[in-house]
A and B are shown apart, each in its own frame.
Chain A
């Protein structure tokens, strides 16, 4: 096409400089007419005025011509749209209450959606920033079978990573990565921060050149210890090194080790941790070397298969299909597993374990082992979509009502020759304009209101905002656009059915009332969706109550956990034991402390399990995982765990005494279903060690997975007998544990040597984290369910009162014929309640049908709970009754004379 850009320019000029173009045109026409007139004077000897008239007539009407010319300019379409826009603006300005109601409704719907989208997008859809080939990059998942159950693992030993990297051919690069929380910085202002532990190849997955210096080399990641070099994140470089350009070579203490800074990552680089970006990246080998101290002498951290501590990513070569890559990975995993079997013959044999591996999404929340938070977030995203639908239904209803009111105006316009397509364009323009206003307000709501949501779902370090995020803005724009089209469609359907003659004659008055199928359907949809959301809210609230009522086997409300972090301050075992004793005795002196106990593991945070040998049982390991804690004699009173049989750990279970253990009831039943557990001998660890005798049975505790039905197989050893030089404390206090955190920390910190420090955490905070998904689900469903209910109530109210307004005449006739006010009110209310009742029936049916989708999210709660469904139905009907009562009362007070005389 010739001169394409010139043509575009001309179109633009025609549109935006219409005055200039019109002026040009006027000049041209004037010239034409003048010359034509002159010609007529000259050739036919006409008088000037007559010549001019003839010239103009021949031209065919200047005005008409100019319109045609504009059509040819191709701008008429846009001009008409602008006209429609002005028309719509005028209409909306004239009805501020209507406009306000619609905009607020849409804003709530769109705002809730945009806010949730910004979260769900980050959890489930958005590729990690700066990733080179997000579509080709995968997390490697390994699956084995143990006791018939599939175990899908993403955390693997370093040796496995080496095996898979060596034995696969489908991948152009692989890397190992994990994130750990370590004390970063010099002793004076050390804080626990996220540290990215990665192999050198990790950085090559990203298009992220270091802004200063370089990333690690393979040599710096070489076993056994690697080189203590660190790459700073941009933010940390700014905040802790003042963005200085000679940062390379600076020293930084991370954990126990002093690192040398070798580079700074670019500004937006967060690795794979969008929601908790590391402040600094260190080589995997350094971390491996530091942590290898617990391994037997025969093994090293890079050859053992017993220490699983990091995840693997791999980038598929272009052209390699997923099936090929997965087959390749599985094959390599089988070889690696065989290798593992050589060193540990107790492992499940190949035929039972059936090891296989596959390449999963790079986004950990896409599964497997996704966080329950992500699941809940997805659900709540769905909920906000329903809220949006309800908002759309509401707005469509309001627009319909308005279109009905404007029937006469519309009929007049049609009669005057406005084409129906033009009319449709005007209606759509109006609804689009409303949607636009709603969208803009919605984004504002999402920006401010969504901040609260984001801190709940994403880590607080994420600086995600709605307004600066193009993806969220596009989503909000789409939500607004579709809302505008959908809501504009309803009145359009209405105009198609318009009977011009009747409407012109009757206007918005007598006889024009008719039941609108669309509006009734919209109300029913709203009712249905509200029931679904309210039922969801009910189910989550009940689940939350169940979660909180789970018998833990201890009383967490007034107990705090004391942990020490040595930060590499190395002290020998004797001094370490002295320190633990000091802490144990010292905390007793803090005012407000009732009792304290030593501990090695914390509920939900850490566990310790060892192989057990029991006479008469073939393989104790096959019965399940047995976790231990080593505790003081005061443990059971401190935690509030009851001893059911025998005795607890006592002072007599000292260093020299025979080893004692207290087992949980579940463990007792598992190991000795038909025998007396007290007095049994259990060998803890190796099968050659002396017996540990069971001295008591304690009630079951929940310390790992709140959601699982299994009671923990748990046993308690005496802290004096099992690693007396390690661990922290449980402390029971009077009153609010939050108030006691600081006094305890201050009292204990003075015992700690070097840069070591002590942390104090109320157990209820840790349990709070466990219940967070349900907490979040409950609060979100309640909020959005209430929002939906309010919207539905407003919808019902506005439609019924509008109907009453339209039917005043008919109602007045009824009154004149002898109907009482009560009859009228009942009549109106029945109409509203009928719609609500249909909505309730549909909603309940929907909830019942979708039950099994919801079930996994609930906690000990049937998704078809009749109480909840009954309650929801009652609430919705009550609200519907209220919403129709107000217009019904007004209808009952109708004055027949006035209504009949009206208009």
Chain B
């Protein structure tokens, strides 16, 4: 089985923040939303999601609370903080030139 593309650390952060922009979610739901948003291309999570969540929380960009999930189970619900919102905006504007540059490199012959 080919390994799903390992996401650059910063990229995963960006994606998680984006996923949470639409509303608070627990861990699995974040991975599911990312899968849905990327049309099943990005199979995030499995293992690298939670460390990312931890350090995002540590950086104060998201906050977490124990609550009840849609499925009715005890779950840790993550919410985007105002600081995270700002961070997302900043990373987003940095992302475009970055991805364009990567494209350019890859297409160079």
Q: A2-B60, A31-B26, A32-B27 are in contact. Are A39 and B51 (CB under 8 A)?
A: no
**New A-B contacts (5) at CB < 8 Å, excluding given A3-B60, A28-B50:** A28-B75, A31-B73, A34-B73, A35-B71, A60-B46
Interface residues, chain A, with chain B CB atoms under 8 Å away: 2-3, 6-7, 10, 24-25, 27-29, 31-32, 34-36, 38-39, 58-61, 64-65, 68-69, 71-73
Contacting residues of chain B (29-78) with chain A, CB-CB under 8 angstroms: 29, 31-32, 43, 45-47, 50-51, 54-55, 58-60, 69, 71, 73-76
Nearest CB of chain B from residue A60's CB, rounded to whole Å: 4
A-B CB contact pairs (8 Å), 27 listed:
A2-B60, A2-B83, A7-B58, A7-B60, A24-B76, A27-B76, A28-B26, A31-B26, A31-B28, A31-B69, A31-B74, A32-B28, A35-B28, A35-B29, A38-B71, A39-B32, A58-B46, A60-B46, A64-B47, A65-B47, A65-B50, A68-B47, A68-B51, A69-B51, A72-B51, A72-B54, A73-B54
Smallest CB gap from B1: residue in A: A57
Q: Are A2 and B59 in contact (CB under 8 A)?
A: yes
Bound form: Cα–Cα A36–B49 in Å: 14
Nearest CB of chain A from residue B71's CB, rounded to whole Å: 7
Q: A2-B60, A2-B83, A3-B60 are in contact. Are A31 and B27 (CB under 8 A)?
A: yes
Write out the residue numbers on chain B whose beta carbons fall within 8 Å of the beta carbon of A71.
51
Bound form: Cα–Cα A90–B32 in Å: 48
Smallest CB gap from B57: residue in A: A10
Q: Are A27 and B74 in contact (CB under 8 A)?
A: yes
Nearest CB of chain A from residue B46's CB, rounded to whole Å: 5
Number of residue pairs across A and B with beta carbons under 8 Å?
Answer: 56
Q: Are A36 and B28 in contact (CB under 8 A)?
A: yes
Smallest CB gap from A2: residue in B: B60
B45, B50, B83: the one contacting A69 at CB < 8 Å is B50
Bound form: Cα–Cα A59–B73 in Å: 20
Bound form: Cα–Cα A62–B20 in Å: 24
Write out the residue numbers on chain A whose beta carbons fall within 8 Å of the beta carbon of B83.
2
Nearest CB of chain B from residue A14's CB, rounded to whole Å: 9
Q: Are B51 and A28 in contact (CB under 8 A)?
A: no
**For the complex, would chain A's binding face be called helix, strand, loop or mixed by DSSP majority?**
helix
Nearest CB of chain B from residue A23's CB, rounded to whole Å: 12
Smallest CB gap from A33: residue in B: B28
Write out the residue numbers on chain A whose beta carbons fall within 8 Å of the beta carbon of B32.
39
Bound form: Cα–Cα A72–B12 in Å: 15
Q: A7-B58, A32-B27 are in contact. Are A59 and B76 (CB under 8 A)?
A: no
Q: Are B47 and A60 in contact (CB under 8 A)?
A: yes
Bound form: Cα–Cα A413–B46 in Å: 32
Q: A28-B27, A31-B69, A68-B47 are in contact. Are A10 and B75 (CB under 8 A)?
A: no
Write out the residue numbers on chain A whose beta carbons fall within 8 Å of the beta carbon of B54.
69, 72-73
Write out the residue numbers on chain B whose beta carbons fall within 8 Å of the beta carbon of A61.
47
Bound form: Cα–Cα A59–B45 in Å: 8
Bound form: Cα–Cα A24–B28 in Å: 15
Q: A2-B59, A7-B58, A35-B28 are in contact. Are A28 and B76 (CB under 8 A)?
A: yes
Write out the residue numbers on chain A whose beta carbons fall within 8 Å of the beta carbon of B55.
72
Write out the residue numbers on chain A whose beta carbons fall within 8 Å of the beta carbon of B31.
32
Bound form: Cα–Cα A478–B55 in Å: 36
Bound form: Cα–Cα A31–B73 in Å: 8
Write out the residue numbers on chain B whose beta carbons fall within 8 Å of the beta carbon of A2.
59-60, 83
Nearest CB of chain A from residue B53's CB, rounded to whole Å: 9
Nearest CB of chain A from residue B9's CB, rounded to whole Å: 11
Bound form: Cα–Cα A2–B55 in Å: 13
A10, A59, A69: the one contacting B46 at CB < 8 Å is A59
Write out the residue numbers on chain B whose beta carbons fall within 8 Å of the beta carbon of A6.
60
Bound form: Cα–Cα A58–B71 in Å: 21
Nearest CB of chain A from residue B30's CB, rounded to whole Å: 10
Nearest CB of chain B from residue A39's CB, rounded to whole Å: 7
Write out the residue numbers on chain B whose beta carbons fall within 8 Å of the beta carbon of A36.
28
Smallest CB gap from A59: residue in B: B46
Write out the residue numbers on chain A whose beta carbons fall within 8 Å of the beta carbon of B51.
68-69, 71-72
Write out the residue numbers on chain B whose beta carbons fall within 8 Å of the beta carbon of A3.
60
Smallest CB gap from B55: residue in A: A72
Nearest CB of chain B from residue A21's CB, rounded to whole Å: 10
Pairs A-B, 6 closest by C-beta atoms: A60-B47, A72-B51, A2-B60, A35-B28, A32-B28, A3-B60
Nearest CB of chain B from residue A536's CB, rounded to whole Å: 59
Bound form: Cα–Cα A61–B71 in Å: 24
Bound form: Cα–Cα A27–B75 in Å: 8
Write out the residue numbers on chain A whose beta carbons fall within 8 Å of the beta carbon of B47.
59-61, 64-65, 68
Bound form: Cα–Cα A72–B50 in Å: 9
Nearest CB of chain B from residue A781's CB, rounded to whole Å: 59
Bound form: Cα–Cα A64–B83 in Å: 31
Write out the residue numbers on chain A whose beta carbons fall within 8 Å of the beta carbon of B75.
28, 31
A25, A34, A35: the one contacting B50 at CB < 8 Å is A25
Nearest CB of chain B from residue A816's CB, rounded to whole Å: 62
Write out the residue numbers on chain B whose beta carbons fall within 8 Å of the beta carbon of A7.
58, 60
Nearest CB of chain B from residue A144's CB, rounded to whole Å: 71
Smallest CB gap from B32: residue in A: A39
Bound form: Cα–Cα A34–B43 in Å: 17
Question: Chain A CB within 10 Å — which of B29, B47, B55 has the most?
Answer: B47
Nearest CB of chain B from residue A656's CB, rounded to whole Å: 105
Nearest CB of chain B from residue A366's CB, rounded to whole Å: 52
Bound form: Cα–Cα A818–B74 in Å: 82
Question: Chain B CB within 10 Å — which of A7, A28, A36 has the most?
Answer: A28
Nearest CB of chain A from residue B57's CB, rounded to whole Å: 8
Bound form: Cα–Cα A7–B55 in Å: 10
Nearest CB of chain B from residue A562's CB, rounded to whole Å: 82
Bound form: Cα–Cα A2–B83 in Å: 9
Question: Chain A CB within 10 Å — which of B27, B58, B71, B83 has the most?
Answer: B58
Nearest CB of chain A from residue B99's CB, rounded to whole Å: 26
Nearest CB of chain A from residue B85's CB, rounded to whole Å: 13
Write out the residue numbers on chain B whose beta carbons fall within 8 Å of the beta carbon of A10.
58
Write out the residue numbers on chain B whose beta carbons fall within 8 Å of the beta carbon of A60.
46-47
Question: Chain B CB within 10 Å — which of A24, A31, A34, A61 has the most?
Answer: A31
Question: Chain B CB within 10 Å — which of A2, A32, A64 has the most?
Answer: A32
Nearest CB of chain A from residue B55's CB, rounded to whole Å: 6
Smallest CB gap from A65: residue in B: B47
Write out the residue numbers on chain B whose beta carbons fall within 8 Å of the beta carbon of A25.
50
Nearest CB of chain B from residue A33's CB, rounded to whole Å: 8
Nearest CB of chain A from residue B47's CB, rounded to whole Å: 4
Nearest CB of chain A from residue B50's CB, rounded to whole Å: 6
Write out the residue numbers on chain A whose beta carbons fall within 8 Å of the beta carbon of B43.
58
Write out the residue numbers on chain B whose beta carbons fall within 8 Å of the beta carbon of A68.
47, 51
Bound form: Cα–Cα A38–B28 in Å: 12
Nearest CB of chain B from residue A260's CB, rounded to whole Å: 67
Write out the residue numbers on chain A whose beta carbons fall within 8 Å of the beta carbon of B74.
27, 31
Bound form: Cα–Cα A2–B46 in Å: 28
Write out the residue numbers on chain B whose beta carbons fall within 8 Å of the beta carbon of A59.
46-47
